[in-house]
Chain A
Amino acid sequence: MSSVLDPKKPTTPAPSRGELSSLGDSIAQVGACALFLLAILAAVPKSLRYIKETIRQIWFTGAMSLVIIMTCGLFVGMVLGLQLYYVLSIFGGTAALGTVVSLSLYRELGPVVTALLFAGRAGTSITAEIGLMRATDQIAAMEMMAVDPMAYVAAPRFIAGVIAMPLLACVFNMLGIFGAHLVGVSWLGLDNGTFWSNMTSSVDVWKDVVNGVWKSCAFGAVVALIAVFQGYTTPPTSEGVAYATTRTVVFSSIVVLALDFVMTAFLM
């Protein structure tokens, strides 16, 4: 593992030397990130010793994100209900509102929007926290106390991301369905039985619900990996931490959306 993983040698961004070398830099970043993933996976068994730290991270990244996830889920569901009701009414198919809302939430919107919110809410704070730990030499101090920072800092946050994301996505989906039900049934006067029975007859557990859960597990892993990696490799300056936080959001959004396309193509 390169200097990226060596806590004693904080990496500084190489001064940019034109476009070609910046392309090389980005490739090197991707490679370092992949190596970092391997290092985290290798540290996972060791991090079981710090199970309480993992629980604290699940609480911080998952439970503390609940409010924003629930609010956004409700509004996304309400908007979906309103928009799709309008579009479906053109074709006289408003009975399919429940089906369309639930399928689009389970298959796409739930995992993706939750991952984007997760990157904004939890990813940034992970990056900032680890970046400041690095800047204030806490990670070096851990090494000196024979505590492996990969096992104590990186791995618990990664595990917490993988566990918390699918749970958050499920809560998001549930609130989204409630929001669509609120708009479609309570407000626009769609029949309650039609809404649910059309949904239950065309949504499949394995093809729709469980595929969405797999997706959100993968997104949780990606967002947590990028957040931890950016924090771990940040230049130990206040400016460096600021850039690392921005990069976490930008990179994880791009990777989540690209990975979503790939996973959709494979899980179809």
Chain B
Amino acid sequence: MNQRRSYQIGTGLFILLGFAALAYLATQTTSVANFQQGPSYTVKAGFTNIGQLKLRAPVKIAGVRIGSVKAIDLDQTKLQANVEISIDNRYNELPDDSAAAIFTSGLLGDQYVAIQPGGSPTMLKDGDEFVLTQSSIQLEDLIGKFLVSGGPSKPADSQSGDAKPDDKNGATPPPAAPAKPDTDTKH
């Protein structure tokens, strides 16, 4: 009888441990962990382009996560993206002239909102809006600008003749493009 009780207790403990492990995995290591946050305050930021920013994307200062993106909406009059950011109440000492920017973690990682602190003595509070914002950098735009940068910046002199075969190549190596304006200025 005593032995029977001992293995029943052992089984009970095993099942408890198993479910505790499952609960731990489900709540502490998944996106569920991001939902449960302490008291927070909400600030707004308008961006002309938010790129791939998603709901619950992290908000960081100096790389430290201080909050998350709460809502993304389109401002019908200005036709820009309104992003609501909820910041943990612990971090209530942000100068109100801080700037918000959308960055990408790594080259191909997720996008997040980075806040660059300003120097104002007054602090951001609930409902405030960021004055300075910087939109997400579109990789496609950047590549586009990079590829065509040789064309418009070139003066229409003897160089334009040289540029034509380059354009037809299509496979102009990007590092060559910035080098071109340099040679132009020397002329």
Render A75-108 as a binary contact track against B, CB cut-off 8 A, 1 for contact: 0000000000000000011011000001000100
Specify which chain A residues have a CB less than 8 angstroms from the CB of B19 in the assembled complex: 167, 170
Interface band, chain B: 20 to 34
The reply to whether B33 and A200 contact each other, CB–CB distance below 8 Å, is: yes
Q: Which of A60, A95, A166, A173 contacts B105 (CB 8 A)?
A: A95
Choose, from A5-13, A50-58, A124-132, A137-145, the stretch at the interface: A50-58
The reply to whether B30 and A63 contact each other, CB–CB distance below 8 Å, is: no
Taking CB as reference atom, which chain B residue is nearest A191?
B63
Complex: A208 Cα to B26 Cα, angstroms = 9
Interface residue? A168 (CB, 8 A):
yes
The reply to whether B7 and A95 contact each other, CB–CB distance below 8 Å, is: no
Q: Give the interface SS of chain B, mostly helix, strand, loop or mixed.
A: helix
Complex: A168 Cα to B22 Cα, angstroms = 10
Q: Which of B8, B29, B65 contacts A177 (CB 8 A)?
A: B29
Complex: A177 Cα to B26 Cα, angstroms = 13
Specify which chain A residues have a CB less than 8 angstroms from the CB of B109 in the assembled complex: 96
Complex: A96 Cα to B36 Cα, angstroms = 22
Interface residue? A171 (CB, 8 A):
yes
Complex: A173 Cα to B19 Cα, angstroms = 12
The reply to whether A208 and B30 contact each other, CB–CB distance below 8 Å, is: yes
Considering only residues 5-25 of chain B, those with a C-beta below 8 Å from chain A are: 7-8, 10-11, 13-15, 17-19, 21-22, 24-25
The reply to whether B29 and A102 contact each other, CB–CB distance below 8 Å, is: yes
Interface residue? B4 (CB, 8 A):
yes
Q: Which of B10, B18, B28 contacts A166 (CB 8 A)?
A: B18
Specify which chain A residues have a CB less than 8 angstroms from the CB of B32 in the assembled complex: 200, 205
- Assuming the contacts A173-B21, A205-B30, asked whether A197 and B4 have C-beta atoms less than 8 A apart, the reply is no
Interface residue? A209 (CB, 8 A):
yes
Complex: A55 Cα to B11 Cα, angstroms = 7
Complex: A177 Cα to B29 Cα, angstroms = 9
Specify which chain B residues have a CB less than 8 angstroms from the CB of A202 in the assembled complex: 31, 110
Interface residue? A25 (CB, 8 A):
no
A184 to chain B, nearest CB (A): 14
Interface residue? A111 (CB, 8 A):
no
Interface residue? A62 (CB, 8 A):
yes
The reply to whether B34 and A200 contact each other, CB–CB distance below 8 Å, is: yes
Interface residue? B173 (CB, 8 A):
no
Taking CB as reference atom, which chain A residue is nearest B4?
A52
B54 to chain A, nearest CB (A): 10
Interface residue? B39 (CB, 8 A):
no
Specify which chain A residues have a CB less than 8 angstroms from the CB of B105 in the assembled complex: 95
Complex: A63 Cα to B8 Cα, angstroms = 10
- Assuming the contacts A95-B106, A170-B25, asked whether A203 and B14 have C-beta atoms less than 8 A apart, the reply is no
- Assuming the contacts A93-B106, A168-B18, A193-B65, asked whether A205 and B7 have C-beta atoms less than 8 A apart, the reply is no
Give the top 7 A-B pairs by smallest Cβ distance, nearest first: A167-B18, A63-B14, A170-B21, A59-B11, A200-B33, A170-B22, A174-B21
